[in-house]
């Protein structure tokens, strides 16, 4: 391609509203332009890169026996109502009506549509297993679209779905995807972690996320610093406990005044107790399904003073029921005190959940359910009872639950996610086949997603410098940028034209910067758009030489013009 003839609108300055590096650079390098919040157009370079990512995904999916489909983005509401997700996912689903008033949505994922095909078409165990995939646009009305391509409302996902006869079959399909994902992310040049994931609204028994550690990431993960292999999303991560000793003796609970002391820090400062001797109380509400007949359920969650509550774990402990933090007036109505002075003593009709770290503890201090008062010497089991669950949010340097070495907590970008769905969708949608003995059995499903834009964002985050992107060749829009410093000098022009023809002949993807621009502008643009190799044709062209430089390392070396094409091919395009 001749640069003078293609549209690459590079920008010198960082766009004002872009925060993370990938967002700034993708805009500056002319890859993308915003249409509205979380909705972007992919221009020439952006689309070339997206197509390369999709091709890598496609090749690796085909390699595990995946069959490529293409499903509609417009779904009838009835399908989603069958699995209950029409209501469950309503907050992030684009729901709409056709002219006759019938409900539809724009697909945010495709379990329902795939399972619908399966239930109508799959009849016998002989047809199993199946791996069906597509690369297609998804719509999610994300509350906070941001950071360029990181959190979009309109994005491209490769999603696949497997159908097996039994759990062992699902295990095999899952393993195939796990391995395919490793190959995909490696080929895209990403350094990634595989973490145990919380299954969330998808349900299912096992799930892993593929995470790229980056300060720009919106997820938090815990990774063991030793190679015991433990790594988990913070939503799910477990940790061991450093031993603590309780205050001695066996005194009775004692209320004491704590004027205006509402936070744990204030209480530590005021009462002079260590935070691990405190019990933090948080109030949640499970709204009644039928407001007329039932009351909202009040939940009191207790964690150690120096620990944080993990709401994903609380959700699991509550069995997946929808819940929300209580409003201050609800707290006052139920506990007779303001938030900050709440505790578990004397509570009736409140469901009390304690974090496992409180098991066996004694003589703790907590809210007294009386404004400006706390209560000390509270001992769970003796003074109140509740259910124990793992409710704690793991913190940096907590001991690993496997090997007791410290865990590192890091921000990360989720690029892929695989789920063992089990029978949930197939059951609610009646997707069954006949097994060997002629019995009807429910299909066992898996679901596996990869975000195409997330791969690009993560790759830019991992591979850039202040001058621009340093994309790995596998996903860069071109293999080589050919940069003559001055086309008005005949030897330079001739050498550049000769190299351009030679590279194209050798099927090297080359962007020929034939623009009438100063050399400095061309170099800056080449660095910005992140093409891995630059061939610079300058004064030495008269001696039959050209410079080859690597964007990722900055290494440069002269080569003979006659040998340059062969060198580029063998060294960079193998
Ligand atoms: P997140 O936790 O980031 O909201 P998710 O867990 O809801 O994502 P999945 O349903 O697991 O996402 O989707 C599969 C993949 O699709 C994700 O691993 C991610 O790569 C990509 N993806 C999901 N949501 C978005 C989005 N809003 N913008 C861009 N890519 C996304
Ligand atoms: Mg996910």
Q: What is the CATH number of the domain that holds 115?
A: 3.30.930.10
> Residue 458: CB within 6 Å of ligand 1?
no
- Is residue 421 a contact partner of residue 85, using CB atoms and an 8 Å limit? no
Which residue is listed with tokens 């996902």? 157
CA of 235 to the centre of ligand 2 (A): 11
Query: Of 229, 191, 224, 193, which is closest to residue 396 (Cα–Cα)?
Result: 224
Claim to verify: residue 338 and residue 416 sit in the same structural domain = no
Tens of pLDDT, residues 368-397:
999 999 999 999 999 999 999 999 999 999
Structural tokens at position 544:
């039959």
Claim to verify: residue 131 and residue 229 sit in the same structural domain = yes
Q: Which residues, including other chains, have CB under 8 Å from residue 17's CB and lie 6 or more apart?
A: none
Verdict on whether the full-model pTM lies above 0.85: yes
Ligand 1 atom at minimal distance to the Cα of residue 416: 18
**Into how many domains does the chain fold?**
3
Please provide the size of the chain in residues: 574
DSSP 184: H
Q: Which residues, including other chains, have CB under 8 Å from residue 95's CB and lie 6 or more apart?
A: 77, 86, 103, 104, 105
93 in any annotated domain: no
User: Which of 335, 360, 391 is the C-terminal boundary of a domain?
Assistant: 391
3-class DSSP state for residue 311?
A: helix
3-class secondary structure for 477-521? CCCEEEEECCCCCHHHHHHHHHHHHHHHHCCCCEEECCCCCCHHH
Claim to verify: residue 29 and residue 169 sit in the same structural domain = yes
Q: Where are the alpha helices (DSSP H) in 239-289?
A: 264-271
pLDDT of residue 8: 98
Burial state string for 290-303 with b = 16 or more CB within 10 A and e = fewer than 16: eeeeeeebbbbbbb
Helices (H) and strands (E) in the chain, counts: 14, 33
Residues whose Cβ atom is located within 5 A of ion ligand 2: 417
Q: Whose CA is nearest to atom 31 of ligand 1?
A: 451
Write phi, then psi, for 537 (nearest 5 degrees): -105, 110
| Planar angle of CA 100, 103, 109, nearest 5 degrees | 145
Q: Which residues, including other chains, have CB under 8 Å from residue 75's CB and lie 6 or more apart?
A: 104, 105, 106, 107, 112, 113
52 in any annotated domain: yes
96 in any annotated domain: no
Claim to verify: residue 50 and residue 142 sit in the same structural domain = yes
pLDDT of residue 200: 65
Edge to edge, the sheet with strand 364-367 lists 254-257, 373-378, 364-367
101 in any annotated domain: no
Claim to verify: residue 170 and residue 207 sit in the same structural domain = yes
80 in any annotated domain: no
Claim to verify: residue 269 and residue 319 sit in the same structural domain = yes
> Residue 157: CB within 6 Å of ligand 1?
yes
User: Which of 336, 362, 391 is the C-terminal boundary of a domain?
Assistant: 391
265 in any annotated domain: yes
| Planar angle of CA 393, 394, 400, nearest 5 degrees | 150
What CATH number has the domain bearing residue 524? 3.40.50.800
pLDDT of residue 442: 97
pLDDT of residue 201: 57
Q: Are strands 39-42 and 74-76 parallel, antiparallel or unpaired?
A: unpaired
Claim to verify: residue 180 and residue 63 sit in the same structural domain = yes
Write phi, then psi, for 113 (nearest 5 degrees): -65, -40
CA of 195 to the centre of ligand 1 (A): 15
Claim to verify: residue 292 and residue 420 sit in the same structural domain = no
> Residue 420: CB within 6 Å of ligand 1?
no
> Residue 507: CA atoms inside 13 Å, Cβ hemisphere, count?
3
Residues facing residue 484 across a β-bridge: 537
Q: CA 459, CA 457: separation in Å to the nearest integer?
A: 5
Claim to verify: residue 119 and residue 29 sit in the same structural domain = yes
Query: Of 212, 122, 126, which is closest to residue 161 (Cα–Cα)?
Result: 122
Q: CA 315, CA 308: separation in Å to the nearest integer?
A: 15
Q: Whose CA is nearest to atom 6 of ligand 1?
A: 417
552 in any annotated domain: yes
3-class DSSP state for residue 416?
A: strand
pLDDT < 50 stretches in the chain:
none
> Residue 40: CB within 6 Å of ligand 1?
no
- Is residue 553 a contact partner of residue 535, using CB atoms and an 8 Å limit? no
3-class DSSP state for residue 349?
A: coil
- Is residue 309 a contact partner of residue 282, using CB atoms and an 8 Å limit? yes
CA of 142 to the centre of ligand 1 (A): 10
> Residue 454: CB within 6 Å of ligand 1?
yes
Claim to verify: residue 219 and residue 360 sit in the same structural domain = no
Q: Which of 91, 94, 454 to mutate to test the pocket of ligand 1 (most atoms within 8 A of CB)?
A: 454
3-class DSSP state for residue 569?
A: helix
3-class DSSP state for residue 553?
A: coil
CA of 199 to the centre of ligand 2 (A): 8
3-class DSSP state for residue 223?
A: strand
Q: Crossing angle, helix 452-462 and helix 21-28, to 10 degrees?
A: 100
Claim to verify: residue 229 and residue 258 sit in the same structural domain = no
What CATH number has the domain bearing residue 320? 3.90.960.10
Query: Of 361, 379, 410, 409, which is closest to residue 239 (Cα–Cα)?
Result: 409
| Planar angle of CA 401, 403, 405, nearest 5 degrees | 95
2 in any annotated domain: no
Write phi, then psi, for 218 (nearest 5 degrees): -105, -10
Claim to verify: residue 63 and residue 207 sit in the same structural domain = yes
User: Which of 391, 424, 440 is the C-terminal boundary of a domain?
Assistant: 391
Residues spanned by the domain of 126: 13-72+108-238+408-461
Query: Of 352, 472, 397, which is closest to residue 52 (Cα–Cα)?
Result: 472
């Amino acid at each position: 391609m001749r640069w003078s003839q293609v549209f690459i609108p590079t920008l010198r300055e960082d766009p004002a509203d872009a925060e993370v590096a990938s967002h700034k650079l993708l805009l500056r390098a002319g890859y993308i332009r915003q249409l509205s919040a979380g909705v972007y157009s992919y221009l020439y370079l952006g689309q070339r890169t997206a197509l390369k990512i999709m091709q890598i995904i496609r090749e690796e999916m085909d390699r595990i026996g995946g069959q490529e489909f293409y499903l509609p983005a417009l779904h009838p509401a009835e399908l989603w109502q069958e699995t209950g997700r029409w209501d469950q996912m309503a907050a992030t689903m684009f729901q709409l009506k056709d002219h006759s008033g019938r409900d539809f949505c724009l697909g945010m994922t495709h379990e329902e549509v795939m399972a619908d095909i399966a239930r109508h078409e799959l009849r016998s165990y002989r047809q199993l297993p199946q791996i069906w995939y597509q690369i297609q646009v998804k719509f999610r009305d994300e509350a906070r679209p941001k950071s360029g391509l990181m959190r979009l409302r309109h994005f491209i996902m490769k999603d696949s779905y497997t159908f097996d006869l039994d759990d062992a079959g699902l295990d095999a399909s899952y393993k195939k995807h796990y391995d395919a994902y490793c190959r995909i992310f490696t080929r895209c040049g990403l350094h990634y972690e595989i973490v145990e994931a919380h299954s969330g609204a998808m349900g299912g028994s096992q799930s892993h996320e593929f995470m790229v550690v980056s300060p720009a990431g919106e997820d938090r993960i815990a990774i063991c610093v030793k190679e015991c292999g433990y790594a988990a999303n913070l939503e799910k991560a477990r940790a061991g406990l450093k031993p603590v000793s309780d205050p001695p003796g066996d005194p009775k609970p004692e209320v004491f005044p704590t004027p205006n002391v509402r936070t744990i820090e204030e209480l530590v400062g005021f009462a002079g107790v260590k935070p691990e001797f405190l019990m933090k109380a948080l109030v949640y509400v499970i709204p009644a399904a039928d407001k007329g007949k039932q009351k909202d359920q009040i939940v009191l969650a207790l964690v150690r003073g120096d620990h944080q509550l993990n709401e994903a774990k609380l959700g699991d402990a509550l069995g997946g029921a929808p819940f929300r933090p209580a409003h201050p007036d609800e707290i006052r109505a139920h506990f007779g005190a303001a938030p900050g002075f709440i505790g578990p003593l004397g509570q009736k009709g409140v469901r009390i959940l304690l974090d496992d770290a409180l098991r066996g503890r004694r003589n703790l201090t907590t809210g007294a359910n009386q404004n400006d008062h706390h209560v000390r010497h509270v001992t769970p089991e003796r003074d109140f009872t509740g259910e124990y669950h793992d409710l704690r949010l793991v913190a940096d340097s907590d001991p690993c639950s496997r090997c007791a070495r410290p865990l590192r907590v890091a921000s990360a970008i989720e690029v892929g996610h695989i789920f063992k769905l089990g029978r949930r969708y197939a059951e609610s949608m009646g997707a069954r086949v006949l097994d060997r003995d002629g019995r009807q059995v429910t299909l066992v499903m898996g679901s596996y997603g990869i975000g195409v834009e997330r791969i690009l964002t993560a790759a830019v985050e991992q591979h850039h410098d202040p001058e621009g992107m340093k994309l790995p060749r596998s996903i860069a829009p071109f293999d080589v940028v050919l940069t003559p410093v001055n086309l008005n000098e005949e030897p330079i022009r001739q050498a550049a034209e000769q190299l351009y023809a030679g590279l194209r002949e050798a099927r090297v993807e080359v962007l020929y910067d034939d623009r009438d621009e100063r050399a400095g502008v061309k170099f800056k643009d080449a660095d910005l758009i992140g093409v891995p190799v630059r061939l610079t044709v300058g004064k030495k062209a008269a001696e039959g030489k050209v410079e080859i430089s690597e964007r990722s390392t900055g290494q440069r070396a002269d080569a003979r013009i006659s040998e340059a094409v062969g060198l580029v091919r063998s060294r960079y395009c193998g």
